[in-house]
Structure 1
Amino acid sequence: MTPGVSPEERLARAALTRVLEPGDERGGEWLRRFGAVRLMALLTSPDAGREQLTDVREQRLGGYRIRAVAAVPERDLAAVAEAGGRFVCPGDQEWPSQLDDLGAARPIGLWVRGRPDLRIWSLRSVAVVGARACTSYGAHMAAGLGSGLAERGWVVTSGGAFGVDGAAHRGALAAGGATVAVLACGVDVVYPRGHAELIGRIAEQGLVIGELPPGDHPTRSRFVLRNRVIAALTRGTVVVEAEYRSGSLVTARAAQRLGRFTMGVPGPATSGLSAGVHELLRGEGALVTDAAEVIELVGDIGDLAPLRRGPVLPRDLLDPVSARVLEALPARGAADGGQIARGAGTTTDEALGKLYELHSLGFVERLGDGWQLTSRATPAGSARRGGT
């Protein structure tokens, strides 16, 4: 930690993570206006607070006060330290400045487990998110993206959930790479329980982070609000399988609002699990199929995906005149040099010269005074002539 954050500021921010829900923009405005130490003083001093905090209903303010009085930040800081973690605040050297793009919805601070530096890791990170109840195809694509990105030195960020999230994390870990799990609960809470081993591995090899203090459990709204942090931390978000109503699309839309890259992996047109992804791709989302295509978007100049094309056939290497002469031969039977020249739009002498070249390459053969395609050229010629 740097000396830029005082112990009093750190304690106050730690306390406020028990007072304000993630993404509370009203609380974020108060925090900007008063600072963390002053805000906690206002919330725990009814007389002073009522005069200053006038832009909220009494009932809501009362809820803030109850939580502020009950907060014991020293205990939370000790709990996260016992779990091998720390509390990172704005102003710390480790604070990822891209989270500031969230404005009033910026996290008060982040509870972090793991040794790596969060700010450094966030500089080259990509979010891979998607359906919890994904198909085997979705799990395969997510794991491939996770390992491919990790092998190329990128940090894979996701939410630690079942399905696509877990597959992306495992792909990165299998490649010996870096991965970050952003939780909707305390970083010492295992959720989902079935991912206890996975989250433990992430904490050992990577980072487990969250806005909620130790011991706090997830709720439906906290999952949704967690997604804005995933979007803000990363250079871009890739969605692998998502229905129309999906938290993964919430992450993608947050990324779009923040000016980050938004990408989707297409699935079968008949799959409801890919319907949300396809809707994203019809808008501003970019279609990607592997890690190289993701990096081409989010990476530096020159990080280009390899050129994609089908296999190079021998006829693809012919010069234009030879190709026209070959095209002029009938699919079945033979033709003389004059007929072939007319079909190719060239002179008879030039056509004959090219026919002898094509003969040496095995495309054509002599049949009396005429020329015909060989078996090497016939299948392609038959398909061409048949219009398939």
Structure 2
Amino acid sequence: MSGGVSEEERRARAALTRVVEPGDEHGGRWLRELGAVGLLRRLTSVSYDDALTGASEQRIHGYRTRAVRADPDGDLAAVEACGGRFVVPGDPEWPSQLDDLGDARPVGLWVRGRPDLRRWALRSVAVVGARACTSYGAHMAATLASGLAERGWVVVSGAAFGVDGAAHRGALAAGGATVAVLACGVDRAYPRGHAELIRRIAEQGLVIGELPPGSHPTPSRFILRNRVIAALTRGTVVVEAEYRSGSLVTARAAQRLGRFTMGVPGPATSGLSAGVHELLRGEAELVTDAAEVSELVGDIGDLAPPRRGPVLPRDLLDPAGARVLEALPARGTAATANDIARDAGTTVDEALGRLYELHALGFVERHGDGWQLTPQAVRRPNARRGGP
């Protein structure tokens, strides 16, 4: 796993996950300018270092206090004990698309699960949405996730109640791949009600997070976690979200990063769909199933099937037969072969030949010298003639 990363670099980055909060661009800039080892050395030095610019003295004091208390060896041992590892930039497993976050890029990622994170992230889609979702939202999230999993996509979400949980379960039920991005340590189950789900994800997929083992979630960490979901995946699908929703934060982060942003429409009367509809009024794409998502974010060949209504028997008629059928009166009254031929723009002999074919197919019946539609054909009037 080490690739070109030294153990000293890995230890320093592990320590810095105790020091620098997710998405902290001050810490990210210092990390870029000084390197992990150099930054940790300055933060643990007894003297003030003027290289740490851009933050208040009080804030720098907080960094230094946390740096002195950090125990990277203990954290690395803890993640190993729960079957995990610590992945950092420079590792073969590091997903390079996270570098698009610039100075807000994670210091490193704590990972539980056997699959290779970089490879899984290459073909992944985020499915996120409301915690207090409706049965419709849960159904759509699970159906989307299972359909994406069946098409070989990795489903990424945040393991929260509601849409997130439904998406993970949908992928698992299809025997597919799923990744949970946590706002706490990967050794902790949060929310507690999803302890069994998170355990299953760790066994069959991946559980990842920026925070070291034992860390608790906070409201700000949930919001900042969403940028990782957006950056890691090719696109984000939002299923039910109010105007003020963390899911919209994920979607807007995806837009800023140039990823695909999609929304599943809901009832216009539902407040839980209001945020999604606002996205759809902007640059987000409307999707209703996994095929449409795959067509948007996939490669050439990942096309959704054409959309059409049910195939009716009259759809199978050749053009000449269809014209003759359309020429019959719609309300069951009889017409002569001469009238039908005139309205169909054909000869009487051609019209009679087609009428007998249509009779054999159950579309028309003969009454003396006239022809009329059967009761079954009248109940399915031709759209072009504007029947009842």
TM-score range, shorter chain: over 0.9
1:120 and 2:129 are equivalent in the alignment:
no
Matches within 5 A, 1:1-388: 1-49=1-49, 51-330=50-329, 331-381=331-381, 387=387
SS in structure 2 at match of 1:181: strand
- Give 1:201 deviation, angstroms: 1.2
Which sections of structure 2, spanning at least 5 residues, go unmatched?
none
- Give 1:385 deviation, angstroms: 5.7
Distance in 1, matches of 2:122 and 2:296, equals 15
Given the superposition, is the C-alpha separation of residues 64 and 147 from structure 1 closer, same or farther in structure 2, using an over 3 Å criterion?
Answer: same
The count of aligned residue pairs is 387
User: Could you tell me whether the CA contact under 8 Å between 2:149 and 2:177 is conserved in 1?
Assistant: yes
SS in structure 2 at match of 1:62: helix
User: Could you tell me whether the CA contact under 8 Å between 2:326 and 2:385 is conserved in 1?
Assistant: no
Letter in 1 for 2:370: G
- Give 1:349 deviation, angstroms: 3.8
Structure 1 range deviating more: 95-104 or 362-371: 362-371
Distance in 2, matches of 1:371 and 1:298, equals 53
Question: Which 4+ stretches in 1 moved above 4 angstroms?
Answer: 382-388
Distance in 1, matches of 2:193 and 2:358, equals 65
Distance in 2, matches of 1:131 and 1:249, equals 10
Letter in 2 for 1:230: I
Distance in 1, matches of 2:362 and 2:115, equals 61
Letter in 2 for 1:365: E
Letter in 2 for 1:256: Q
Distance in 2, matches of 1:321 and 1:211, equals 67
Distance in 2, matches of 1:162 and 1:140, equals 14
SS in structure 2 at match of 1:35: helix
SS in structure 2 at match of 1:69: helix
Distance in 2, matches of 1:289 and 1:235, equals 18
- Give 1:48 deviation, angstroms: 4.9
User: Could you tell me whether the CA contact under 8 Å between 2:3 and 2:92 is conserved in 1?
Assistant: no
TM-score of the superposed pair, with normalisation by structure 2: 0.95
Task: Describe the superposition over 1:135-162 as per-residue Cα deviations: whole angstroms up to 9, x where unpaired.
Answer: 1111111112222222232211110101
- Give 1:222 deviation, angstroms: 0.6
Distance in 2, matches of 1:362 and 1:153, equals 45
Distance in 1, matches of 2:223 and 2:373, equals 64
SS in structure 2 at match of 1:167: helix
TM-score of the superposed pair, with normalisation by structure 1: 0.95
Distance in 2, matches of 1:204 and 1:354, equals 64
Structure 1 range deviating more: 336-345 or 37-46: 336-345
Given the superposition, is the C-alpha separation of residues 381 and 114 from structure 1 closer, same or farther in structure 2, using an over 3 Å criterion?
Answer: closer
- Give 1:387 deviation, angstroms: 5.0
User: Could you tell me whether the CA contact under 8 Å between 2:291 and 2:304 is conserved in 1?
Assistant: yes
Task: Describe the superposition over 1:302-349 as per-residue Cα deviations: whole angstroms up to 9, x where unpaired.
Answer: 122222222211111222232222222112321122322332233434
Percentage identity across aligned positions?
Answer: 81
Structure 1 range deviating more: 159-168 or 169-178: 169-178
Distance in 1, matches of 2:28 and 2:336, equals 85
User: Could you tell me whether the CA contact under 8 Å between 1:139 and 1:163 is conserved in 2?
Assistant: yes
- Give 1:382 deviation, angstroms: 8.0
Distance in 2, matches of 1:90 and 1:137, equals 40
Structure 1 range deviating more: 127-136 or 167-176: 167-176
